[in-house]
Amino acid sequence: MKVACVQPKIFQSRNNCYFEVEELIKSLLEETNNCDIICLPERWVPAYANSTKNFQKERGDDYSFIKNLAKEHHINIISGGIWEKRDNLKKPHITSYFFNESGEEVGRQDKIHLYSYERGQFESGKVLKLFKIKNLYYFAILICFDMAFFETPRLAAENGADFLLSPTQIRQEGMDNWDTYLKARSLENRIPIAACNTFGTFFRRKFLGKSKIISFVEGNISPSKLKIVEGPSNSNGYIFDDIDLDFPKKLRKIRFKEKIEKNKIKVKNVNS
């Protein structure tokens, strides 16, 4: 599976952001014309002080832009995070759409673990979905903070996900923690991860990018060895890699046979 992360710079104009995304995707596809799927970051459009301008109607302009890109370039695309209002809900969702190479909406994943200020503004997702690609492999979309908790990646892996895609928005101060989370989630579940991070400055916070594609070196079983492709730091750009999805499947079978269910482990307080 050839997976790519596109890391655009955020401009103050939405149209400039659209142009930036499209130009990077064109450059990526010129360099590698058989890419299977592209992931965008959680945030790739501007954030305004007037919060009402940050929200899109359900399947609004950002949705249509990415949908059209998928159709025009015949490529599977993960939309990144879209702040989306829905008529039947009081609060908006942070959601990520999966469009196939015909530009059709396959489905969407709502962010489950909301971070800090998000809990007051957004509705939390309740369902973790698995998406099929190439009629062969399954993946899950874990939006940013969903990767900070072991339950969501583990549930995806246990239920048949072959790899994880993570549209992410990690500011400069959190990069070390993020790096640790990604490696840990990949190792503890023996599953490849492509995490696409935001690049730019908004709300006085700096985002460096440094997107990552994490996979496994074939043949290394115990210990397993990670292969990491990292995107540019403090710059726009993209990364891609051919990920072997069959070897990690063997590793997962071994790992999941070794685990002990937590309800079978007793916890006992020992007083001195």
Read off the pLDDT of each residue in 142-158 and give the average, rounded to a whole number.
97
Structure tokens at 51: 């919060």
**On the CB side of 159, how many CA atoms lie within 13 Å of its CA?**
15
At residue 53, the pLDDT reads 83
Cis check for the bond before 223: say yes or no (omega within 30 of 0). yes
At residue 45, the pLDDT reads 96
At residue 42, the pLDDT reads 98
Read off the pLDDT of each residue in 218-228 and give the average, rounded to a whole number.
96
Strands (E), the chain: 2-7, 37-39, 56-57, 76-78, 82-85, 93-99, 105-110, 130-133, 137-141, 163-168, 193-197, 199-202, 205-208, 212-221, 224-230, 237-242
pLDDT(48) > 90 = no
| Confidence bin at 52 (pLDDT 50/70/90) | confident
Give the relative orientation of helices 14-31 and 61-73 as an angle to the nearest 10 degrees: 20
pLDDT(22) > 80 = yes
At residue 97, the pLDDT reads 98
pLDDT(198) > 80 = yes
pLDDT(257) > 80 = yes
Residue type, 40: L
- Over the stretch 24-40, which tens digit does the pLDDT of each residue have? 999 999 999 889 999 99
* Residues forming a β-bridge with 56: 84
What is the distance in angstroms between the CA of the first residue and the CA of the last residue of the chain?
55
What architecture is the 2-264 domain classified under in CATH? 4-Layer Sandwich (3.60)
H-helix or E-strand containing 19?
A: helix 14-31
Mean pLDDT computed over every residue of the chain? 96
H-helix or E-strand containing 66?
A: helix 61-73
Read off the pLDDT of each residue in 75-87 and give the average, rounded to a whole number.
96
pLDDT(255) > 90 = yes
Domain ranges of the chain: 2-264
> Residue 152 phi/psi, 5° resolution?
-70, -50
* Number of Cβ within a 10 Å radius of residue 89: 12
At residue 50, the pLDDT reads 79
Read off the pLDDT of each residue in 155-176 and give the average, rounded to a whole number.
97
| Confidence bin at 195 (pLDDT 50/70/90) | very high
| Confidence bin at 229 (pLDDT 50/70/90) | very high
| Confidence bin at 49 (pLDDT 50/70/90) | confident
Residue 173 per-residue DSSP state: G
Percentage of the residues of the chain whose pLDDT score is greater than 70: 100
| Confidence bin at 47 (pLDDT 50/70/90) | confident
At residue 21, the pLDDT reads 98
Structure tokens at 173: 């101060």
pLDDT(250) > 80 = yes
Comparing CA positions, the residue from 125, 185, 134 lying closest to residue 157 is: 185
Read off the pLDDT of each residue in 111-140 and give the average, rounded to a whole number.
96
